[in-house]
Structure 1
Amino acid sequence: MNSAGNDYGLWGLVVVNSVVFIGFAYSFFKPVNLRDWRSFGAYSAFIVALFAEMYGFPLTIYLLSGWLGTKFPNVNLFGHEAGHLWWLATGQHGNPHFGVLHLLSFVFLIGGFTLLSKAWHVLYHAQRRHGLAQAGPYRHVRHPQYIGFVAIMFGFLLQWPTLLTLVMFPVLVLMYVRLAIAEERDSEKAFGDRWREYAAATPRFIPHFGKGDRARPVNSH
């Protein structure tokens, strides 16, 4: 295994990137109750685990070093570009930052952060009026904030997959589904028939842009 040159051990970058991406999400999500903090904390744990391997200690590279060293004997596995495992494992050449998956990851990242921003704006004003959020992204799905978090995490997996984040991702998705269901029970208690009518017309996670969806009135409270 060629280990000449080590691009890891950059713990300052781990801290800076973690603070930036966690802080950026916080500025959109602004957790208030325990359920909010649980969902935000799960996202934060994923981000820290990601950047700890991306710049600090490449645990996945170490664990897979035997197989990677045999399959790619001329690759510096401790060079930063080797951490783009989708690119490396498929035998691609050149700069991985211009690869299809890396570029696609930005679609999910930008889309996820945009969805978080739009969802929080609607939810904030609905909560101030003690009403039901139904406008903006809530017009199409009941839990756009959780979809936003999942999109962001999936985008990072396309960029930089690690064994830990690959294991964490389905666990966190399941956690968000359970949080969404618990949130719906609370909403039904608070809003009764209004919630049931909204829930009957609006999918939980996967939108359908049909005639019924376009015809539903926009109401954020």
Structure 2
Amino acid sequence: MTDTGASYGLWFLVFVNSAVFIIFALSFFKPQTARDWRSFGAFSAFIVALFAEMYGFPLTIFVLSGWLQSHWPGIDWFAHDSGHLPEMIMGWRTNPHFGPFHLLSFLLVGAGFWLLSVAWHHLWTAQRQGRLASTGPYARIRHPQYAAFILIMAGFLVQWPTLLTLAMFPVLVWMYVRLARSEEADSRASFGEAWERYAASVPAFIPQKNAPPSRSSSRVRGSKEGET
């Protein structure tokens, strides 16, 4: 039961998968300030921790093996597919890669990367034009890039939850909220009334249902999330 065989110890896959997702996110986020790099570094640490357990060492399975085996004795918990804990615990015996949790994971991760890409395009356009970014995702939420990171992490948690990533997730969400508030304080000091009007009509992370999109076109100098 403790022989993980070829299911784990695949550190090359840990490196490749971590690098692919980190570089892919980096190509959209494009950190510029120390604050940007801190937020991206935290996201990268989450990705590495995730794939280290997915292909390297199944720490969560080892820690919970006694409890898992006693409640679901018919499952080989050290087989790789068993790492999809929600699928296994719910009793679905189909290929977990096509189960509902995995499909939900694809939806959340895909939506996160889409939001990250689209948000960067609108922010970059606004920066070039010297105006407040208030189109596209920025018309609905003030921090779409941070929201995108949260969506991606939530998607991976649905697919492959681990003790470490479950512990990291609320800490990282709290960190992104703190970073957003700090950036907004800088933006308020720099842009004054234009920012106040924008912030009064557009929520920070969760879009309002049926809320009219922001139409602000005030000329300002933007940087990253907080100056949008």
**What's the TM-score bracket when you normalise by the shorter of the two chains?**
over 0.9
1:148-202: CA deviations, max 9, x gaps?
0000000000110000000000110000000000010111111110000100011
Which structure 2 residues correspond to residues 95-106 of structure 1 after superposition, within 5 A? 95-106=95-106
> What TM-score do you get using the length of structure 1 for normalisation?
0.94
CA separation of 1:4 and 1:49: change in aligned 2, threshold 3 A: closer
SS for the counterpart of 1:172 is helix
Shift of 1:218: 5.4
2:174 counterpart letter in structure 1:
L
SS for the counterpart of 1:217 is coil
1:159 is aligned to: 159
Shift of 1:50: 0.1
1:116-163: CA deviations, max 9, x gaps?
001111112223344321111000110000100000000000110000
- Alignment: residue pair count: 219
1:169 counterpart letter in structure 2:
F
Residues 144, 205 of structure 1: 8 Å contact kept: yes
SS for the counterpart of 2:7 is coil
Unaligned 5+ runs, structure 2: 220-228
CA separation of 1:57 and 1:2: change in aligned 2, threshold 3 A: closer
CA-based RMSD of the aligned residues comes to: 1.6
Partner residue of 2:215 out of 200, 214, 217: 217
Shift of 1:2: 6.9
Which structure 2 residues correspond to residues 54-203 of structure 1 after superposition, within 5 A? 54-203=54-203
Instruction: For 1:124 and 1:6, locate their aligned partners in 2 and report how far apart those are by CA, in whole Å.
Output: 45
1:56-102: CA deviations, max 9, x gaps?
00000010111122223332222110100111122221211111111
Instruction: For 1:46 and 1:25, locate their aligned partners in 2 and report how far apart those are by CA, in whole Å.
Output: 13
Instruction: For 1:11 and 1:131, locate their aligned partners in 2 and report how far apart those are by CA, in whole Å.
Output: 46
2:91 counterpart letter in structure 1:
G
SS for the counterpart of 1:133 is coil
Instruction: For 1:135 and 1:220, locate their aligned partners in 2 and report how far apart those are by CA, in whole Å.
Output: 12
Bigger CA drift: 42-51 or 124-133?
A: 124-133
Instruction: For 2:32 and 2:191, locate their aligned partners in 1 and report how far apart those are by CA, in whole Å.
Output: 20
SS for the counterpart of 1:142 is coil
SS for the counterpart of 1:75 is coil
Unaligned 5+ runs, structure 1: none
Instruction: For 1:61 and 1:106, locate their aligned partners in 2 and report how far apart those are by CA, in whole Å.
Output: 23
1:163 counterpart letter in structure 2:
L
> What TM-score do you get using the length of structure 2 for normalisation?
0.91
Moved over 6 A (4+): none
2:81 counterpart letter in structure 1:
E
Shift of 1:219: 3.1
CA separation of 1:4 and 1:183: change in aligned 2, threshold 3 A: closer
